[in-house]
Chains A and B, each alone.
Chain A
Amino acid sequence: MNKKEKESWVIHLFFGITSLLMILPLLLVLIASLTDEQSILANGYSFFPEKFSLDAYHYLFILDPGVIFRSYGVTIIVTVVGTIVSLLLTAMLAYPLSRTTLPFRNAFAFFVFFTLLFNGGLVSWYLVYARFIDLRDTVWALIIPGLLLNGFNVLIMRTFFTTTIPPTMIEAAHIDGAGEARIFAQFVVPLSKPVFATIGLFNTIAYWNDWYNSLVFLSRAKFFSLQYMLNMSLLNIQFLSQNSQNTNAASLMQSTPQETMRMAMAIIGIGPILLAYPFFQKYFVKGLTIGAIKG
């Protein structure tokens, strides 16, 4: 083995170990969720349990599916609606800002930019949504506060529009009699698929992973997002049975595998991301590179 090969071996070893460190905590939880409760009570969470079992999933999906499916439903709806609306809002703000002919363009850009520098703090932000427009305990509380528009995304999109949409094309479309809305929908959007995919992905992840809005604005379990439901169950495993529509849930709980169920819930919460990850990972890396260019 020559020196060069030796060096690359060391690097591969390093990345092999690092990659394992990234994945092992997840793997531990996955295996624990598939372990028999008795094995866990005896040996703790382990990568090599004595006995496997699907009891945790059986309970969550078949015996008492109410809580899980409801919060999944809430999260899916919120993610879909939130992503679409916020993508539209972002693009509809970023596109005019990219047009050099727009009067007061810089003033509006600063209006967006300033939100990144200074904020009024949690208290008054909370009061706006809790007292001024009362969104508490509605599904809107998961969609509207905070997540709908992010100044950074506006700046990324504006940069993309400025650098990829030729102004001469817009002028030509004007001369042909197309209105602004039409130019935007028929020329700009189709030419900007990469940035729409990137920002859409950012938004999807933000909505899917959000638990903060539930924590701050919701007190009843009806609209708890999946992540927040997981949070509650981590702190208090009884949470599931307390909020179940299944009247036998409390007695079912007595006989259920609580520790493995906790871990099964984590897997259920992360499942869709893990399944979709190989597909969007490539896109995301590209998007990050776009984002790294100054906005």
Chain B
Amino acid sequence: MIDARQITSEFINEPVKKRSTIWKRVRQHRALYLMMLPAILYLLINNYLPMFGVIIAFKDINFTKGILHSEWVGFANFKYLFATTDAYVITRNTILYNLAFIIIGLITSVGIAILLNEIRSKISRFYQSALLLPYFISMVIVAYLLYGMLNPEYGFMNKTILPLLHIDPVYWYMEPKYWPLILILVNVWKGVGYSAIVYIASIVGIDQEYYEAAKIDGATKWQQIKHITIPLLVPIMTIMTLLAVGRIFYSDFGLFYQVPMNSGPLLPVTNTIDTYVYRGLMQLGDISMASAAGLYQSLVGFLLVLLSNYVVRKINRDNALF
């Protein structure tokens, strides 16, 4: 990260000489700067320009007046947002789902990584391929796959599974109570292969001598896993978890919007900050409110990233992001 003080002090202390050498060095590298230019411009437009747009959250937007000339309303949009039950519901959903994803995802993917590492045969390549496959499927297709299972009239659940158990058909897309479980299952199904591979990569990197020494001491497989593999995975587990914690205010828009097929009755359990902002912007046209929710998300998200990075730094400096 740049140290601004250092650069400014360089300018102040030895203005003429330093500046000319820096200028010379910059000129020397102008081809490299030119190379970066298109990408820098893109980031300016795509990422930095919208950051100034956060002022919308403090305005009562009127498009005939334009964004800059619309009236300032201070924190009115936020007051209005937090006075609704929506603010509570979307915050609760976003955080609780993410917590479930983090905990269940960690357990399943570490478990799968350890087990997969135990089989040394050709077929483990097939298992790996099968596990990773859902990762490449778009959320739209996932919505189709789930529809094949849950369609009330023709779906596999209502037509084959439930009759076998003598249970009456369920109108899945109308019944909120099943969806927390469904969404968690879909999330694990789609993502477990990806994170398992990250863990497999670090298991492969563990020095074999540890295991050989343990075997000589008569350690069982289970003892080896408990006393060698898991402790050595803890650093990467910590990093992956803290990164996820930093993103706990964000949700996969596709998972919460496409997969439940934007079904109204399910909103109490499927609405998250991301889907709320989208609906506010595109469907309800409530730009100021959507923007207030978006800024709330970005700010808290930013603070959480800083916080989790701080914690990573405390644990192991090398693993910190910055």
> Which A residues form the contact surface with B (CB < 8 A)?
7-8, 11-12, 14-15, 18-19, 21-23, 25-26, 28-29, 32, 40-41, 43-46, 89-90, 92-93, 95-97, 99, 101-104, 106-113, 115, 117-128, 131-133, 144-146, 148-149, 154, 179-181, 184, 205, 208-212, 216, 227-228, 230-231, 234-235, 259, 262-263, 265-266, 269-270, 273, 277-278, 281, 284-285, 288-289, 292, 294
Shortest CB–CB separation between residue B20 and chain A, in angstroms?
A: 13
Residue of A nearest to B25 (CB): A103
Interface size of B by CB at 8 A reads 99
Contacts of B194 in A (CB 8 A): 288
Report whether B49 and A128 are in contact in the complex, using a CB–CB cutoff of 8 Å: yes
CA of A128 to CA of B49, assembled, Å:
7
CA of A93 to CA of B253, assembled, Å:
29
Report whether B281 and A123 are in contact in the complex, using a CB–CB cutoff of 8 Å: yes
Q: A118-B51, A119-B298, A263-B148 are in contact. Are A96 and B36 (CB under 8 A)?
A: yes
Report whether A209 and B138 are in contact in the complex, using a CB–CB cutoff of 8 Å: yes
Pull 26 A–B residue pairs with CB atoms less than 8 Å apart, ordered by A.
Answer: A11-B118, A12-B123, A18-B112, A26-B133, A32-B148, A44-B154, A44-B158, A45-B155, A46-B160, A89-B42, A92-B39, A96-B29, A102-B32, A106-B2, A120-B52, A120-B53, A121-B298, A124-B56, A125-B46, A128-B50, A180-B35, A210-B138, A212-B253, A228-B140, A269-B140, A277-B136
Does any Cβ of A come within 8 Å of B223's Cβ? no
Does any Cβ of A come within 8 Å of B72's Cβ? no
Which 3 residue pairs across A and B have the least CB separation, nearest first?
Answer: A124-B53, A44-B159, A121-B294
Report whether A103 and B1 are in contact in the complex, using a CB–CB cutoff of 8 Å: no
Q: Which of A103, A120, A259 contacts B54 (CB 8 A)?
A: A120
Shortest CB–CB separation between residue B54 and chain A, in angstroms?
A: 6
> Which B residues form the contact surface with A (CB < 8 A)?
1-2, 22, 25-26, 29, 31-33, 35-36, 38-40, 42-43, 45-54, 56, 67, 112, 115-116, 118-119, 123-124, 126-134, 136-141, 143-149, 151, 153-156, 158-160, 189, 193-194, 197-198, 201-202, 221, 236, 253-254, 258, 261-262, 274, 277-278, 281-282, 287, 290-291, 294-295, 297-298, 301-302, 305-306, 318-319, 321-322
Report whether A288 and B141 are in contact in the complex, using a CB–CB cutoff of 8 Å: no
